[in-house]
Chain A
Amino acid sequence: MTKKTEKFLQDFTFPEKEVRKHKKVLKMLLLAQYDSQLQNKSLRKGGEMDLRKILKYSSLVIAFVVVILALTVWKDSPINVFHTEKAQAQEVVNKAMDKFFTLTDDEKKIIQQKIQADLMSSLEEARAAEDLEVVPEEEIQRIDPPKFEGEGIGLPSREKKVIGFRKEFVHEDMEKEGFEKAEPGTRAMMPGEGKVMAPHNTTVLRYTNPQGAKVILGIDENDQPVMKMVTLRKEDLKEIEGSKDNLMFFEKKID
């Protein structure tokens, strides 16, 4: 199917017409600015090297470099702290991505079942996030692994996902399509308040995804993701619950 899509894209016909006048006029403008663009930063003045200009710029550059060096070396400097924190988080993700390429298909499947998300997309999303950070230990509640698969309190089994349907689209054949009516009061998400729960020996990362939701991603000491939680914002949850009169929640088994 992928080959079909690739062929479809490769055989495309595109609009090819140019605005020729734009091409011509832009060229003239570029050439008109050629001299000024290239000579603006020159240190030459009437053919002679302008020593005052050189000295002025050199001393500014030296002063700037000294300040930056001092800030990066100074342990508590803001540059150092942010660089270290984000760099640390990025490094964790990068190691997990490198590990990904060494995994077999079965191993990838197991991890994806655990985190209920596409593995590479999750890592790429984390890496691209501007606010990616390592969650400090004081914000984490360490827990032991479950005794039974899918064990949970107050949540649907992880083998099922919750989907809301607008009432006008609920029909008689929902069961045939694999949907079961969810228990009253079923919640798909809980607001992300309080400590983050994570097993021991897991580095917990946190970031905001492109949809604006907070994501918690746990990566173990073997550089493998072991948990992923996407938290709806409180206002999103309110919105869903506020419209619940028009929504019916169903559970569907995850394949």
Chain B
Amino acid sequence: MDLKTEEKLVKEAKSSPAAFSKLYDTYYPAIYRYALRRTANVQLSLDITSEVFFQALKHIKKFDWRDIPFSAWLYRIASNKINDSFRRKKYTSVSLDVLFASTDFEPASSENIEQELIDVEENLKKHHEFLKVQKHIASLEMVYQEAITLRYFENKKVKEVALILGKNEGTVKSQLSRGIKKLREKLESIDSKKKGEIPVMQPSVSFRVLPVEVDKNHD
């Protein structure tokens, strides 16, 4: 969707459910896909996607297109939700069951969703290479994870990544460069023979160190 059309649709969506529905149809795949590529977890990705669109609905009246395009805003919400889930290692999911309870609404059959979920999870498991690389990316610092996934998995330009993350382009480029370097090291270290190495941190001292009393009563 081009930016002009998006802007017009967002304006309408503030008062028209049909317009909001069009935005949803356009961006649901992208947000779900981004969540899946960051988390490699189907259920979590669905929860995050649900949460993103509920947030979008809740705040769409206040949304100002001048600061950031709508699509970038959705990605930013998604990024924050994903980072929160990684940080806390627990996630308050917005499952469909909870949402049904609040709206007196029930689908025709919830069994079909379960089966489809199983199928999608089975499909995910077959992508071994992706799962392996995703695991390494997920072990990087959050700033690198976001930048790498948006740039290379979502094919966003540096400018778009900067807009989504609310940073300047120089910072994003530097984060991409560092992130790729760290990822490369991780991918290469799989073959490393130094399995017994336990690096011990050392103070980087460039001055004369005055004697410091050390507590010798460790035992």
Contacts and interface: CB of A to CB of B under 8 A. Distances in A.
The finding on whether chains A and B are genuine partners in a shared complex, rather than unrelated, reads yes
Interface string A10-53: 10111111111111011111111111011000000000000000
Contact of B199 (A37, A156, A163): A163
B123 A15 contact: yes
A229 B202 CA distance: 8
A135 interface: no
Nearest to B208: A146
A101 B170 contact: yes
Given A101-B170, A163-B198, A213-B201, A30 B209 contact: no
B153 A9 contact: yes
Given A38-B57, A38-B60, 5 more contacts: A2-B181, A6-B180, A19-B120, A27-B21, A29-B105
Interface stretch (B2-10, B32-40, B63-71, B74-82): B32-40
Contacts of A20: 116
Contacts of B201: 188-189, 213, 230, 232
Interface in B150-207: 152-153, 155, 170, 174-175, 177-178, 180-181, 183-184, 187, 195-207
A165 B196 contact: yes
Q: Which of A25, A147, A228 has the most CB of B within 10 A?
A: A25
Contact of B218 (A13, A147, A169, A241): A241
A240 B211 CA distance: 22
Interface string B100-117: 101101010000110011
A23 B53 CA distance: 11
Nearest to B206: A114
Contact of B107 (A25, A118, A155): A25
B202 A189 contact: yes
A97 to B, nearest CB: 8
Contacts of B170: 101
Given A9-B148, A30-B57, A163-B197, A117 B213 contact: no
Interface of B: 14-15, 17, 20-21, 24-25, 28-29, 32-33, 36-37, 42, 46, 49-50, 53-54, 57-58, 60-61, 96, 99-100, 102-103, 105, 107, 112-113, 116-117, 119-120, 123-124, 126-127, 129-130, 133, 141, 143, 148, 152-153, 155, 170, 174-175, 177-178, 180-181, 183-184, 187, 195-215, 218-219
B39 to A, nearest CB: 12
* Nearest 9 pairs of A and B residues by beta carbon: A169-B196, A116-B204, A9-B152, A188-B200, A229-B203, A21-B113, A146-B208, A34-B17, A15-B124
